[in-house]
Chain A
Amino acid sequence: MSPRRTGPGPLSHRDESPDRLYTVTGGRTRSGPDTPFDLVTLVVTESEPAPGMQSEHAAILRLCRRPTAVVEVAAELGLPVGITRILLSDLLDTGRISARHPRTQAGGPGGYRLPDPDILEQVLVGLRNL
């Protein structure tokens, strides 16, 4: 039997209608043409949740008291990455979070760029110390 057919994962939103996701983002469909959030951009809370704040926004602010990658925020909230980016953009625009972007430069579309040698050394040292 194939393990891939054993059933749905734990993510709550997967059972929900698109309407719910629409509500989460207030009907907005994009986080902007140049969304600054990479999957591994680290998000850090700059101000605590305020009363009356949208629950997803408050959840992000609680989660990111310590640096937390965009992809972790999405997984913890049970939301797709795209929706998570919209919510993060809201919080970034209002100064409630800051974003620490990866220093590794992404290549252009369809292109790869070799990483900085210093970064590679740091990765090697870190892995060897595991």
Chain B
Amino acid sequence: MDSATSDATPGPAPDVTPDPGHGPSVAGPRPQLATTADNGLKIVVVGGFGVGKTTLVRSVSEIRPLNTEETMTRAGEEVDDTSAVGTKTATTVAFDFGRITLDAHNVLYLFGAPGQERFWFLWDRLFSGTLGAVVLVDTRRIADSWYAIDRLEHHGTPFIVACNDFGGPAHTEAEIREALDLGEHVPLVECDARDRSSSKYVLITLIEHLRTQVARATPQALQETPV
């Protein structure tokens, strides 16, 4: 399937190479969901290659991160058609994901997705219905995340920025905000994607940010109306 992947990625599974040795990888059979599970939710983790997307997903996921792929046309339509794969109009993108059972009904899926410009026409469709996004940033390579942030802003998808500490020179929050041209309202946190509680905190920060957005979008009068 050369034509399926040549346009999309340097190799058949570019962003999902297993790198055992970090985080609590889950051994044994895949834990199953409760029979009551009935509501799947999505969060997207975007960022450049090697920034720690898979690591973050793994550190909070109850399953070992799995990977799969989706084929889309340039127009952003999903392609179920294997013959279209041979044409220049189809692109295959690989992504990995993990899972968190939240309660008896809700199951959260975390998708790790490469943030390169050439992948972005896919995401609108692939991740429609997502709660929000985490942009992972390596402060040594800040420019890698510019495009992802542009795209999320354009699409109106709420996001937070999490800076992975790779031991580069320390930057102040103001410096990072300026380098990212980040609005005041966008939360910026530090994290260690290898650490479960740190990754959990990143996700909580995103959901709290969404809650703030919802409160802002709800007219005051409505909030104060007695039931």
Residue with the highest number of chain B CB atoms closer than 10 Å, among A8, A35, A38:
A8
Given contacts A80-B70, A112-B158, contact A30 B103 (CB under 8 A): no
Whether B186 sits at the interface, judged by CB under 8 Å, is no
* Residues in A55-97 with C-beta less than 8 Å from chain B: 66-69, 71-72, 74-76, 79-83, 85-86
Chain B contacts for A126, CB-based, 8 A: 100-103, 106, 108
Contact A67 B108, beta carbon cutoff 8 Å: no
Whether A53 sits at the interface, judged by CB under 8 Å, is no
Whether B68 sits at the interface, judged by CB under 8 Å, is yes
How many B residues touch A, CB cutoff 8 Å? 78
Given contacts A111-B156, A122-B102, contact A40 B41 (CB under 8 A): yes
Scan B166-195; emit 1 where CB is below 8 A from any A CB, else 0. Answer: 000000000000000000000000000000
* Residues in B25-74 with C-beta less than 8 Å from chain A: 30, 32-35, 37-42, 49-50, 60, 66-71
Quote the shortest CB–CB distance from B37 to chain A (angstroms): 4
Contact B210 A115, beta carbon cutoff 8 Å: yes
CA distance A31 to B81 in the complex (A): 9
Contact A127 B102, beta carbon cutoff 8 Å: yes
Contact B13 A104, beta carbon cutoff 8 Å: no
Chain A contacts for B38, CB-based, 8 A: 42, 67, 100
Contact A11 B67, beta carbon cutoff 8 Å: yes
Chosen A-B contacts, 21 in total, with CB atoms closer than 8 Å, are A4-B14, A4-B15, A4-B49, A11-B13, A11-B68, A11-B69, A21-B82, A25-B82, A29-B80, A29-B83, A40-B42, A69-B99, A71-B109, A80-B70, A81-B69, A83-B82, A103-B39, A104-B42, A111-B156, A119-B106, A121-B211
Interface of B with A (CB < 8 Å)?
1, 4-5, 10-19, 30, 32-35, 37-42, 49-50, 60, 66-71, 76, 78-86, 92, 94, 97, 99-103, 105-109, 111, 124-126, 128-129, 131, 155-158, 196, 200, 203-204, 207-208, 210-211, 213-214, 217
